[in-house]
Structure 1
C-alpha cells in the first residue's frame, strides 16, 4: 500500500455511507469501510475516531466555511443577511449528486446513535454562529434567536434541495425557505383567517 493515499478521506466517507445504507450502521465495521475504500484499516484512524465520524467528516469543512464567510462579510451587512448569505453559499460544499445527500439523511434517520451525533453537530454550529455574530457586535439574546431561526431556514432549504427530481439550486431553496419564514412571522399581527401576503426575499442569499 503506498504511503500517499489520494482522496483517502473522501473515499472513506463514501464507503461508509454506502455500507451503512447496504448493511446498516450496526452491521458495518471499520475494517469493512477501509476495505471498501481500498485502504488499510489503520488508514481509517488517520481521519476519524470511529465509524460514526466517517459520516460527519463534512462538519469541520462546514464550520470553516461559515467562519470564513461571516468574518469576511461587510461590517455594515445586517446580521440576518450575513447569516443567510453564509448558509446559502455553503451549497458549494454539497455533493453534485443529491442522491448522496438523501442517502445520508436516510442512514442518519434510521439509527439513534447517528441522530444523536447529528444533533451534536447542529449544536456546535449553533455555538459557532453565535460567537461569530458576537464578534460583529450582536448581543447574545438577539444572536441566539437569529442563529436558531437561520438554522431552521437552513434545514428547510436543505430538505427542499434534496427532494427527488428537484433541480432548484440550494441558493434558491434557501431563498424560498426564508420567504416562508417571513410569511409565518407576518401571521403574528394578521387577523385570524387573513391569507398570507406575498413575501419579500427574506434576506440576502447571494
Structure 2
C-alpha cells in the first residue's frame, strides 16, 4: 500500500502556482513542483496530466456549477435572469480566493499557450450555456447570443474583481457589468453632445448596493 499523502492535490497546486509566479511557467518543471510540495513526480501524475492542467483542473467544476444553476432556474425565467443566477453561484465559488485568482491570472497572462487554453475554457463554457438555454426552450440565435453575453459579463466582472479592493464583492461587480451591457444595448452607452447626464443602470446598481440596510 502506498504512503498516505494528505491533501497531495492541493499541495501540488499551491507549489505549482508559487513556482510559476516566481520562475515563470515555462521555466518550471514537474520535478520541481513535486519537490516543492514534498512529493514525488509519480504522485504529481496521479493527480494531474501535465503541469498546465494544474491551472485548469477546476474548469469543469466551474462550468458544471454555472450550467446547473441556469438549468435549475424557475420555469419562465428570462434567459438573462437565468444567467444571473449562474453568475451569482460562480461568484460564490470564488469567495475567499481572490489572492489565488490574482496570481493564477498573472501567470496565464504572461504565457501565450496558457492564454489560448483559457480562451478554450471560456468558449467551452459558453457553448455549454447555449445548449442549456436551448434545453429551456430558447431558440437560436438567442441562446448563443445570451450565452456569449453571459460569458462577456463574467470576463469583465472577474477582471474587475481581481483588481479591486478586498471589500469588493464579485457578485456585485458581475451585476454592474451586466447593467452596463444592458445600457449599451438600450443605446445608453453614449451621450449626445450637450444632452443631460443621466444615471446608467450600472450606476443605479452600484448605488443600491451601497445603500444602508
Instruction: Give your verdict on TM over 0.5.
Output: yes
**Change in CA separation of 1:150 and 1:5 when aligned onto 2, cut-off 3 Å:** same
Matched, 1:29 2:54: no
Deviation at 1:148, TM superposition (A): 0.9
Deviation at 1:29, TM superposition (A): 0.6
Counterpart of 2:131 in structure 1 is: 131
- Asked if 2 retains the 8 angstrom alpha-carbon contact of 1:183 and 1:196, the reply is no
What is the distance in 1 between the residues matched to 2:151 and 2:20? 26
**Change in CA separation of 1:6 and 1:61 when aligned onto 2, cut-off 3 Å:** farther
Matched, 1:158 2:161: no
TM-score normalised by the chain length of structure 2: 0.85
Q: Report how many residues are paired.
A: 202
Counterpart of 1:7 in structure 2 is: 7
What is the distance in 1 between the residues matched to 2:84 and 2:189? 24
- Asked if 1 retains the 8 angstrom alpha-carbon contact of 2:70 and 2:132, the reply is yes
Alignment gaps of 5+ in structure 2: 206-213
Pairing of 1:183-194 with structure 2 (within 5 A): 183-187=183-187, 192-193=192-193, 194=195
Deviation at 1:27, TM superposition (A): 0.8
Higher-RCO chain (CA-CA 8 Å, sequence separation at least 6)? 1
**Change in CA separation of 1:2 and 1:189 when aligned onto 2, cut-off 3 Å:** closer
Counterpart of 1:87 in structure 2 is: 87
- Asked if 2 retains the 8 angstrom alpha-carbon contact of 1:30 and 1:44, the reply is yes
Aligned residues: CA RMSD: 2.3
TM-score normalised by the chain length of structure 1: 0.88
What is the distance in 2 between the residues matched to 1:122 and 1:23? 26
Deviation at 1:13, TM superposition (A): 1.8
Alignment gaps of 5+ in structure 1: 202-206
Deviation at 1:84, TM superposition (A): 1.7
Pairing of 1:109-188 with structure 2 (within 5 A): 109-187=109-187
Q: Identify the range of structure 1 (18-27 vs 3-12) with the bigger mean alpha-carbon deviation.
A: 3-12
Counterpart of 1:16 in structure 2 is: 16
Counterpart of 2:99 in structure 1 is: 99
What is the distance in 2 between the residues matched to 1:181 and 1:71? 23
- Which structure is larger by alpha-carbon Rg, 1 or 2? 2
